[in-house]
């Protein structure tokens, strides 16, 4: 039986004002995907998602959590270690957790997907360790939503030529 109207259909969708909803641009789209992926994260300290993209196609995704088959922090306790940066600031990380960027790179490698010359969308700017790996795998541009200790990665960004671009995810 055919029903009249658009109820339940995405075609002709309207926003609260009755106007057609604005289509997301590519940057917003991929950042929204990264935020959705971050909801799979098992880290109790922060949920981060990453999407590796080339030519507007998703190549790989990742979120922060324990290696496959091992206990996650939301199932056990975090095992925190501290490291000191040359400027004296102390950073805390979890022994159990693999960061979202590294998981996305690992997924690409596991499935034989080249990510050279790709871009990455991350819900937070990368830590210095992830940035070093992103440099080595050939990522060209890092798009991020929330800043995370950008002062620690500024010099590596300058030397590597990788672009760091903030993209808001307020429409997600």
Kindly provide the residue ranges of all beta strands, DSSP E only, lying in the chain, ordered along the sequence: 49-54, 57-63, 80-84, 90-94, 119-124, 141-146, 163-166
Is 99 assigned to a binding site? yes
Q: Return the pLDDT at 11.
A: 45
Dist. CA 62–CA 74, nearest whole Å = 17
pLDDT digits (tens, 9 = 90+) for 7-37: 444 444 555 566 677 889 999 999 999 999 9
Q: 127 labelled as ligand-binding?
A: yes
**Dihedrals phi, psi of 162, to nearest 5 degrees:** -70, 135
4 noted as active-site residue: no
Question: Is 70 exceeded by the pLDDT of residue 163?
Answer: yes
Query: Closest by alpha carbon to 29, among 156, 168, 129?
Result: 168
Angstrom CA distances, 64 to 12, 49, 102, 106, stand at 37, 7, 9, 12
Domains annotated on the chain, with CATH: 26-66+98-166 (3.40.140.10)
Of 28, 75, 101, 155, the catalytic one is 101
Mean pLDDT calculated for residue range 137-150:
95
**Looking at residues 150-165, what average pLDDT do you find?**
93
- Of 44-48, 52-56, 135-139, 159-163, minimum mean pLDDT range: 44-48
Q: Is 129 annotated as a binding residue?
A: no
- The mean pLDDT value of the chain amounts to 86
∠ CA 137-111-30, nearest 5°, is: 65
- 75 has a pLDDT exceeding 50: yes
Strand partners, 81: 93
């Amino acid at each position: 039986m055919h029903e009249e109207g658009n109820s339940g259909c995405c075609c002709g969708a309207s926003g609260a004002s009755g106007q057609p909803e604005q289509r997301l641009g590519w940057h917003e789209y991929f950042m929204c995907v990264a935020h959705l992926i971050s909801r799979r994260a098992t880290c109790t300290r922060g949920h981060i998602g990453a999407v590796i993209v080339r030519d507007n196609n998703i190549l790989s995704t990742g979120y922060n959590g324990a290696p496959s088959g091992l206990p996650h922090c939301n199932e056990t306790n975090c095992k925190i270690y501290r490291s000191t940066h040359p400027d004296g600031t102390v950073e805390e990380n979890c022994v159990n957790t693999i960061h979202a960027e590294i998981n996305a790179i690992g997924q690409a490698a596991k499935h034989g997907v080249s990510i050279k010359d790709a871009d990455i969308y991350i819900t937070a700017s990368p830590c210095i360790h992830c940035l070093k790996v992103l440099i080595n795998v050939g990522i060209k541009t890092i798009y991020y939503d929330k800043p995370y200790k950008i002062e620690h990665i500024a010099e590596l960004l300058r030397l590597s030529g990788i672009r760091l671009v903030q993209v808001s995810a307020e429409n997600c």
